[in-house]
Structure 1
Amino acid sequence: MFKDHVEYIIRNGKLGDAEVLLDIGRSVISEDEYFIAVSEEVEKTPLHEEKERILSILDNIKDTLIVAEVNGLVVGSIEFRSQTRKRLSHTGSVSMSISKNYRGMGIGKALLKALVDWAEENPLIEKISLGVFSTNQRAISLYKQMGFLEEGRLMKEYKLHNGEYIDDVLMCKFV
């Protein structure tokens, strides 16, 4: 795909992406803006734990990891993790991370579209769920554009270091 003079590809994630995905995650979390985790909670995550996490995704037919690559470098990812309880087995949750320098280029939309396409093809998946900070209007706008609906809100779910509270906007898409 090509947008804003940046060519990128969307592909399935693989075990060899572990180190760069860990770096992206740490970088995005260090921005301290839109993630539940804070830097000190993930800074010391060992590579072998990230590899185990990726293997668990790759080994589960109801989970997926999709990455975006620019010039051979992984710059973002989206993952879907299914629920294990029988009554929730038709659903799962999404998380997405994109390196700061590659935002606003359509990569997030392309990753989300690839995930929705994957879910629509997977007969075991019926609902994609996610939570997003109420302050992340850019992400909320993208999710709505891609057919996600707001299904609820957890008021003052997150408390920032400055004492400010942020709601968790719960969104979903049925596939």
Structure 2
Amino acid sequence: MKTEKLEIIIREAIPSDAKDILEFSEQTGAETDFLVYGPEGLELSEAFEAMYLEGLIEKENAIMLVATIDNEELIGIASVGSNDKPKTQHVGEVGITVAKDFWGYGLGTALMEEVEIWAKESGIIRRLELTVHADNERAIALYEKMGYQREGVLSRAMFINDAFADGVMMSLLID
């Protein structure tokens, strides 16, 4: 049996990644119901996404990371969004998406580890939080493995396939 080795690179997203990120959102939106978007993806223009990424580079409390194979094919994204308001600028909302072909290989763990390292090094982020579909057992197991705590359930947080689904609020405190 021959095994193929792939070089996976995790790096900060840059404006020239905009087109790939939007295409990735359409691909992954079609692969799972656990994302907040479907096959329509993020529904943003490439110019808007590039401008957004340019703005992220300047922020000290927000980031988008991309995981690529050989710095070409986009296979995962992790992001932390935050605002600049003094009372809440320490809170980062985490989002993570991995292409279905790469589920179960540790890519989600690697992306979450990079997010945590970045948060600690930011000097600003003291709380990472997320909301996950209550039936997404794989994601919940990943977040719990990373030290995230369940904080509550949001009833009817999502409406998918003509049915309501709950969301689980989770957080990780950065000390």
TM-score by length of 2: 0.89
Aligned AA (1:52): M
- CA shift at 1:46, angstroms? 1.4
Per-residue displacement from partner, 1:60-107 (whole Å, max 9, x unpaired)?
Answer: 111111111212222111011113332211102011122222222111
1:46 equivalent to 2:48? Answer no
Per-residue displacement from partner, 1:9-56 (whole Å, max 9, x unpaired)?
Answer: 2222212211111111111112351112233473x4211111122122
Q: Which runs of 5+ in 1 are unaligned?
A: none
Aligned AA (1:148): Y
Superposed, 1:149-160 pairs within 5 Å as 149-160=149-160
What is the match of residue 11 of structure 1?
11
Superposed, 1:64-79 pairs within 5 Å as 64-73=63-72, 74-79=74-79
Relative to structure 1, is the Cα distance of residues 107 and 77 closer, same or farther in structure 2, using a 3 angstrom cutoff? same
What is the match of residue 84 of structure 1?
84
- CA shift at 1:155, angstroms? 1.0
Contact 1:133 1:167 in 2 (8 A): yes
- CA shift at 1:126, angstroms? 0.3
Question: 1:52 and 1:152 mapped to 2: Cα distance?
Answer: 35
Q: Secondary structure at the match of 1:22?
A: helix
Relative to structure 1, is the Cα distance of residues 53 and 77 closer, same or farther in structure 2, using a 3 angstrom cutoff? same
Aligned AA (1:128): L
Question: 1:99 and 1:81 mapped to 2: Cα distance?
Answer: 21
Relative to structure 1, is the Cα distance of residues 24 and 40 closer, same or farther in structure 2, using a 3 angstrom cutoff? closer
Q: Percent identity?
A: 25
Contact 1:24 1:97 in 2 (8 A): no
Superposed, 1:1-175 pairs within 5 Å as 5-40=5-40, 42=42, 44-73=43-72, 74-161=74-161, 163-175=162-174
Paired residues, what number? 171
Q: Secondary structure at the match of 1:39?
A: coil
- CA shift at 1:5, angstroms? 4.2
Aligned AA (1:45): L
Q: Bigger CA drift: 99-108 or 133-142? A: 99-108
Question: 1:174 and 1:59 mapped to 2: Cα distance?
Answer: 24
RMSD: 1.9
Q: Which runs of 5+ in 2 are unaligned?
A: none
Aligned AA (1:113): E
